Amino acid sequence: MNLALKDIRHGLFRFVLTCFGLGLLMTVVLAMIGIYNGLVSDALAVVKAPAADVWVVEAGTQGPFAEASSIPADTRNAVARMPGVAEAGAINYQNIEAPFQGRTLRLYVIGYERGRPGGPQTIVAGRGIGTSHFELVADRKTGLAPGDTIRLGRNHFTVVGLVEGAMNSGGDPAVFMALADAMDLQTELAPADQRVQVARGGGAVKSASVAAVIVRVTPGADVSLLTATLRQWKHLAALTQAEQETILLASVVDKARRQIGLFLGILLTVSAVVIALIIYTMTMEKLKQIATLKLIGAPDRTIVGLIVQQALILGASGWGIGLVLILLVKDVFPRRVVLEPFNVGVLAAIIFVVCLAASGLGVRAALKVDPATALGS
Amino acid sequence: MALGDVLVEVQGLAKHFGDGETRVDALRSVDLLVRAGEVIALLGPSGSGKTTLLNMIGCILDPSAGRVALDGDPVFDGKWLRNDLRRLRLDKIGFIFQAHNLLPFLTAEENVAVVLDLAGWPAEKGRARARELLDYLEVGHRAKVKPALLSGGEAQRVAIARALANRPRIILADEPTAALDSSRAQLVMDLLRKLAAEQEACIITVTHDEKIFDRFDRLIHLRDGHLVDA
């Protein structure tokens, strides 16, 4: 006879409400884990997208994701001729805000050279950029659709295709355009400013610089030798893909990551305290029944089983409800919520341990109950 | 009625709480012999030691001195002679409480069967025995009902069924009729007497209920921890 299940069934409504409350807490915990993963995943997405082996950036900088990097656009030609380089492409990154259909879109503009590394990986709708100017491929999260036209800077761009999962570490969805358009967007002055500049005799301001050159090496090429050679050029620095990812995580998203990690720790602590209190309260309410069970001969394992099983059922239900809820609402979050089976499994293991530890308090109280307590009226 | 084996044998049983100036002697050198088939009452004012004696016979309170033997087995002689007192209670002693103490999350049938489950009976056999007892006590029709929906008399009969489930030979009852009216109280006592005879058990009852005094074989009076009249 399973006394734990019988007791749960007896007070089912209350138990379900308790599980639901715990489930909401677990939803928040899972959301924080998902946001944490999303942050890392988003940050790495833009670095991983070009499938580069080496990033050539401005000397003395950590690359375009950690700080401003500006190198001459023709660096690509020099790099492409180096031994071991299979492909090279100049690339540019910038954030921009643009009005579209009554709202303001914050976009992460990636300028790349058509036919070279740095462009969108997989087009999920429409097509890739087919002309030299005024076309763009947007991430689906921008809300843009193929055929839409949007004004960026002084020009109008037509959306020709969509991609998914392309965004910067701040969660801004990316748009891909031709490098020349991206450079114009970066350097062109507004008409009024342009007139002032001309009146001052300065002419138009144009800078032919890009943020980085992406390199893919030939099979079997020595990447470390290539980066060492590139570093000998005084105005350039070279980072391997792994170094670029490490820099991004260590310098760009590190604070946010630690903050979320700390918050997650606090949430798990709160969850542990809440579970302990619930189980302790459930046990204290049953002290007379536990005394009766002891009096009629129930061994300690029956009493411990009653409490621990209820604690585990409570934890498992809370975890299950939390998982279902987060799966239902994760797409509503403004930032991507990424839940891996591993994370969900680890949380289950943590809850299991927390429930066992939390039930210790209740078990201790139950085992101390004098069976003679049952004899009082 | 012919009396059988000695089921409860108490010699020089004493209990004190505290030491020195705070010492309280709850029970002082009590001797008691109860045989199979006997139904006895422990009487006395509050603080006289009735419940203390009942608890020590029930192996739920440590005596300070003396000897206790249950169903022929010595269980206390200056110290407990067995480590498994709960198993001893499960096998040899049945308890009936004033407040019934039925587990609220179990049905009447389950409340009886839980004792057999703890004793290691197969579930089906335990349920059959529980039904048999409930039918015998004329509450079989309430077997699937939770205690909250039972009347006082029904609950008490379920509690008696639970106390008898594992066929214990010693039944300890603490004010079993306190919550019942006069006629029901006498019916319960008649039932207990009948069961004691049938199962060759003894029943030791703590009571203040004068209405049922005539249902006991012996009235044992306690005062200030002494057995004053048996």
Q: How confident is the model at residue A204 (pLDDT cuts 50, 70, 90)?
A: low
What is the identity of the amino acid at A232? Q
A314-351: pLDDT as tens digits: 999 999 999 999 999 988 888 888 888 998 999 899 88
pLDDT over 60 at A189, yes or no: no
Residue B100: the pLDDT is 80
pLDDT at A113 over 70: yes
Nearest residue in chain B measured CA to CA from A296: B90
Residue A225 pLDDT greater than 60, yes or no: yes
Q: What is the share, in percent, of chain B residues with pLDDT greater than 90?
A: 21
Residue A220 scores a pLDDT above 60: yes
Report whether pLDDT(A268) > 80. yes
pLDDT of residue A191: 62
The pLDDT mean for chain B works out to 86
Residue of B84, B101, B209 to mutate, testing the A interface (most A Cβ within 10 Å of its Cβ): B101
Rounded to a whole number, what is the distance in angstroms from the first to the last CA of chain B?
A: 18
Which residues does A contribute to its contact with B (CB < 8 Å)? 1, 3, 6-7, 9-11, 288-289, 292-299, 302, 370-372, 374-375, 377
Distance from C-alpha of A78 to C-alpha of A236, rounded to nearest angstrom: 12
In sequence order, the 6+-apart residues with CB closer than 8 A to the CB of B193 are: B39, B203, B215
Q: Helices A254-284 & A300-329, crossing angle to 10 degrees?
A: 140
* ipTM of the modeled complex: 0.82
CB contacts < 8 A, A to B, total 73
Domain that holds residue B72: 6-106+159-229
What is the pLDDT averaged over residues A158-185?
88
A197 pLDDT above the threshold of 70: no
Is the pLDDT confidence value at B68 over 80?
yes
Q: Compare CB distances from A297 to B87, B99, B178 and report the shortest one's residue.
A: B87
Reading the block at residue A23, the tokens are 């489930």
Q: How far is residue B155's CA from residue B145's CA, in Å, rounded to a whole number? A: 10
Q: What is the rounded average pLDDT for all residues in chain A? A: 86
Q: Do B58 and A11 touch (CB under 8 A)?
A: no
How wide is the angle at C-alpha A88 spanned by C-alphas A252 and A224, nearest 5°? Answer: 65
Give the rounded percent of residues in chain B with a pLDDT score beyond 70: 97
What is the percent of chain A where pLDDT is above 90?
Answer: 24
- Substitution target in A287, A288, A296, A302 with the highest count of B β-carbons within 10 Å is A296
pLDDT of B137-193, one tens digit each? 888 899 999 999 998 888 888 988 898 888 888 999 888 877 777 877 888 888 888
Structure tokens at A99: 């009005």
CATH of the domain at B172: 3.40.50.300
Q: Is the pLDDT of residue B229 over 70?
A: no
Q: What is the mean pLDDT of residues A243-267?
A: 83
Output the CA torsion A359→A363→A365→A367 (10° steps): 180
Query: What integer pLDDT is reported at residue A194 of this predicted model?
Result: 63
Higher pLDDT, B128 or A373: B128
In a domain, residue B113? The reply is no
- Residues of chain A positioned with their CB less than 8 A from the CB of B58: 295
Chain B residues inside the 8 Å CB shell of A374: 95, 97, 101
Structure tokens given for B44: 């006395």
- Sequence letter at residue B22: T
Judged against a pLDDT cut of 70, whether residue B71 lies above it is answered with yes
Selecting from A288, A302, A375 the residue whose C-beta is nearest the C-beta of B55 gives A375
Q: Contact A134/A181 with Cβ under 8 angstroms?
A: yes
Is residue B120, in this structure, part of any structural domain at all? no
* Domain layout of chain A by residue ranges: 3-43+255-375, 49-252
Q: Specify whether the CB–CB gap between B170 and B205 falls below 8 A.
A: no
Q: B32 in a domain, yes or no?
A: yes
If pLDDT is split at 50, 70 and 90, which confidence band does B136 have? confident
Mean pLDDT for the stretch of residues A147-159: 90
Chain A's closest residue to B103, CA to CA, is A289
Torsion angles phi and psi, residue B95, rounded to 5: -115, 135
Instruction: Record the tokens describing residue B192, joined without a space.
Output: 């207990």
Quick count: other Cβ atoms within 10 Å of Cβ A121? 13
Q: What is the pLDDT of residues B26-57, one digit of tens each?
A: 888 889 999 888 899 999 888 888 888 988 99
Q: Does B136 map to a domain?
A: no
CA–CA dist B192, B164 (Å, integer): 10
What is the pLDDT, as a whole number, of residue A148? 92
Q: What is the pLDDT of residues A25-42, one digit of tens each?
A: 999 989 988 988 888 888
> Does residue B178 form part of some domain?
yes
Rg (CA), chain A: 30
By Cβ distance, the residue of B54, B103, B162 closest to A289 is B103
Contact call for residues B159 and B100 (beta carbons, < 8 A): yes
Report the residue count for chain B.
Answer: 230
Is residue B140 in some structural domain?
A: no
Which among A298, A231, A239, A248 is positioned nearest to A67, based on CA atoms?
A248
Instruction: Look at A298 and B60 and tell me if their CB atoms are within 8 Å.
Output: no
- Could you say which of A7, A298, A370 has the minimum Cβ distance to residue B118? A298
Cα–Cα distance, A307 to B207 (Å, whole number): 35
- In angstroms, the Cα distances linking B209 to B35, B44, B55, B162, B186 are 23, 11, 20, 23, 10
What pLDDT digit, counting tens, does each position of A273-324 carry?
888 888 888 888 888 889 889 888 888 899 999 999 998 999 999 999 999 9
Strand blocks (E) in A37-126: 54-58, 71-72, 85-100, 103-112, 125-126
Calculate the alpha carbon distances from B129 to A168, A244, B96, B159 in Å: 72, 75, 18, 14
Question: Could you say which of B89, B117, B162 has the minimum Cβ distance to residue A1?
Answer: B117
**Beta strands B65-70 and B73-77: pairing type?**
antiparallel
Q: How far is A277 from chain B (nearest CA, A)?
A: 22
* Alpha carbons B77 and B24: distance in angstroms, whole number: 21
pLDDT (0 to 100) of residue A377 = 47
Domains in chain B, number: 1
